[in-house]
Amino acid sequence: MALWMWMLILFIIGQRLVELVIAKQNEKWMKARGGIETGSAHYKWFIYLHILFFISVFLETSMKLVNQEVVFSYFYFFVFLLAQLARFWCIYSLGRFWNTKIIVMPRVALIKKGPYKYIKHPNYVIVAVELFVIPMLFGAYLSAIVFPILHVLLLRIRIPAEEKALTSIPKL
């Protein structure tokens, strides 16, 4: 694997680990203030999906490199950078309420700023873009097809669970 590929994949994995730490801190903060976690049964499948995603990209890239070198794509890298900016915008906009789990807080108004002012679930769109763009950067075309589809299938469980949780909490 080329050096740029290792650096990028390590950056992405490191970023995801930092996000899990932030999510855990936010979870503790929210639960200490009455936050209620719901829809946890499917959460593990998102974890499995993301772990398998990185394994798949690595394996597919490793097998591909035996036959040919992957050429760096400025287009896909630009889309990746835009997705990262959008990801940070989501996290910043939700602040302490950003989480990878479904945790709702009674008597707290739904946040409708940042990207949430324009689209209901922007982070899920961003993740779908990443699940396509990251493998494309590495020439892992099978992963670029399979993982966005698996993500959408999981969202068919996640989004209704999140909507149910958000509409069932007592409002201000």
Tell me if 2 sits within 8 A of 68, measured CB to CB: no
Q: Do residues 105 and 33 touch, judged by C-beta distance below 8 A?
A: yes
Beta bridge partners of 38: 102
Q: Hey, what's the torsion of the CAs at 110, 46, 10, 64, to 10 degrees? A: -130
Task: Report pTM.
Answer: 0.90
Beta-bridge mates of residue 131:
none
Residue 45 has pLDDT above 90, yes or no: yes
| Distance, CA of 3 to chain centre | 25
Tell me the per-residue pLDDT of 113-157, one tens digit each, with 9 for 90 and over: 999 999 999 999 999 999 999 999 988 999 999 999 999 999 999
Question: For the packed helices 3-32 and 122-138, what is the interaxial angle rounded to 10 degrees?
Answer: 160
Which structural domains are found in the chain, ordered by start? 3-168 (1.20.120.1630)
